[in-house]
Amino acid sequence: MVGFYCGTPYHVMLAIHMSLHEFAGEDKCLVVLKNFSSTEKVHDVCIKEHLFKEVVIIDSHRFDRRREWTRRYRMFSFYPEFKALCKNYRFDRFIFFSADRMQDTFMIKLIMKKNPSCEFFIGEDGLGSYTKSDMYKPQGRENFWLDLLQRRKYLSCLKTSYFLNPELLTYVPDGKVLSIQKPNRDEQYFLSILNEIWNSKPIMDYGGILYLTQPFLENKQPILAEEQSYFIGYLQEKLGNRKLGVKLHPTSRNIGIPSGCNVIGSDVLFEAMVGNVRSKIFIGIYSGALFTPFLLWGDITPIILLCKLCSDQSRFGALETFLHRFSEKFEKQGGKIYIPKTINELGQVIDGSIKIGQ
C-alpha cells in the first residue's frame, strides 16, 4: 500500500497525478487535512473514480479557534481516523506532502507498528521546498517536544524527497532526490478529475492582470497582509474601468479585497485553470503559484513579483538563487519576469511604458 498525506489542493493534485503514473496499478490511500473548502469533494471524486482504496479527511480546525488546541492535543493523541487506517492497512511507502515535524513523527510511529520496513518520503510543497533548506527540520520548541516524547528518531526515516523540478533547488537536500513526472495538457482523464473537484474552467475578463493572493492574515503576518491589500487597491485604481482579477489562495478568505475586483474563489484550483485564463500578466508578492503555471504546463504568461516593494526584505533573500535559475528557463522559452523596485516602476508597467507582456 502507498500512502499520501496532503494539506493543500496542490498536494492533492500531485498525489492524484502520481497515483496515475508513478504508482499506477498499486493500492493507494489518500489522507487529507481539512485545510481548504473542497476536501469533501476530493473524497467523493477520488472514491468514485477508484483512484484510492480509501480517502481519509482529518479536521485540522484551520479556520476556527480550536486550531492551536487541536495541534497541541494531537502531539500526544493522533487523529483516530488515521489510527484506524494504520490498523487496517500495511503501508510499504508513505509520502508526506504536508510538512509538520510533530505530526509526521507520530504518523511514522503508527505506520511502523505494522511495517517497520516502510519507506518514507517527503513530497515538495511548492516554492518553499526549493528555497528553504530547513523547511523539514524541527524549529524552536519542536526540538524540546521531539526529545521529550522520544520521537526525534522517526525524522531520520525521511531519507528521500520528490520534486517536480529538482534542478531548481537552491540547496543540497539530505538524502536522495527523485523527480515527479510532470503532467501535460494531453492528459484528459487527469484534467477531468481536477475539473470535477475544483471547477477549474472559469473564463472571465480579468482586464489583463490576475493577482494571486497569499494567506498572510491566516499565517499571522499582518504587515504583509496590509501591504497585499494596498497593492491590490493600487492596481485596481491604475486599471481604471478594467476589472482586476484576484485569485484567492486555497486557505484564504475574502478579506481585504476591494469591492469591484473580479474575485476567483479559494475553491478553484488555479494550477489547473491556467490554460483557460485570459490574462496578460500574473502578479503577486512572492506566491509560489506565480511559478507553477510554467513549471507544470510550460505556460509563459509574464510575471510581476512585488517582493521588493515590501517593507520587510529579510524573508526574500532565499528567493534570489531560485529566481536566477527559474528566470533562465522561463526566459529561454519566451517568458518575461519583472521585479519593480519602486511603486512608480510598477505603475509604469501597468501604464504600458515598461513593456513586459505582449
What digits encode the pLDDT tens for the residues 226-271? 999 999 999 988 887 667 888 888 877 666 677 777 888 888 888 8
Q: How far is CA 1 from CA 106, 215, 267, in A?
A: 19, 34, 30
Domain presence at residue 356 = no
163 & 35 share domain: yes
Q: Which three cell numbers stand for residue 255?
A: 478579506
Domain containing 285: what range? 201-351
What digits encode the pLDDT tens for the residues 312-337? 877 777 788 899 999 999 999 999 99
Claim: this prediction has a pTM higher than 0.85: yes
175 & 241 share domain: no
CA distance 274 to 75: 38
150 & 287 share domain: no
Domain presence at residue 45 = yes
183 & 258 share domain: no
12 & 135 share domain: yes
Q: How far is CA 143 from CA 125, 138, 146, 265, in A?
A: 22, 6, 5, 37
Average model confidence (pLDDT) across the chain: 86
Domain presence at residue 358 = no
Query: What pLDDT does residue 207 have?
Result: 61
C-beta of residue 282 within 8 angstroms of C-beta of residue 304: yes
What digits encode the pLDDT tens for the residues 204-234? 555 678 899 998 888 888 999 999 999 999 9
Domain-ending residue, one of 142, 169, 195: 195
Highest mean pLDDT among 48-52, 147-151, 170-174, 220-224: 48-52
How many domains, in total, are found in the chain?
A: 2
Mean of pLDDT values over 44-52? 96
183 & 268 share domain: no
Domain-ending residue, one of 195, 221, 243: 195
Check residue 259 and report its DSSP letter: T
155 & 255 share domain: no
What type of residue is 206? Y
Query: What pLDDT does residue 345 have?
Result: 93
Characterize 28-38 residue by residue with b for buried, 16 or more Cβ atoms within 10 angstroms of its Cβ, and e for exposed.
Answer: bbbbbbbbbeb
Domain presence at residue 15 = yes
Domain presence at residue 96 = yes
Query: What pLDDT does residue 354 have?
Result: 61
232 & 183 share domain: no
250 & 278 share domain: yes
CA distance 38 to 54: 17
Name the H helices within the chain. 9-20, 39-48, 67-73, 80-88, 101-114, 127-131, 141-148, 188-198, 222-239, 270-273, 292-297, 319-332, 343-351
What digits encode the pLDDT tens for the residues 81-118? 999 999 999 999 999 998 778 788 889 999 999 999 99
169 & 210 share domain: no
All residues at 6 or more sequence positions from 40 whose CB lies less than 8 Å from its CB, including other chains: 57
**pLDDT value at 358 more than 50:** no
25 & 161 share domain: yes
Domain presence at residue 288 = yes
Domain presence at residue 38 = yes
Domain presence at residue 69 = yes
Domain-ending residue, one of 195, 217, 232: 195
Q: Give percent of the chain with pLDDT exceeding 90.
A: 48
C-beta of residue 162 within 8 angstroms of C-beta of residue 178: yes
Here the CATH number for the domain that contains residue 30 is 3.40.50
CA distance 179 to 223: 36
| Cα 262 from chain centre | 22
159 & 215 share domain: no
All residues at 6 or more sequence positions from 65 whose CB lies less than 8 Å from its CB, including other chains: none
Query: What pLDDT does residue 245 have?
Result: 86
Give the Cα-Cα-Cα angle 339, 342, 348 (nearest 5 degrees): 80
C-beta of residue 216 within 8 angstroms of C-beta of residue 222: yes
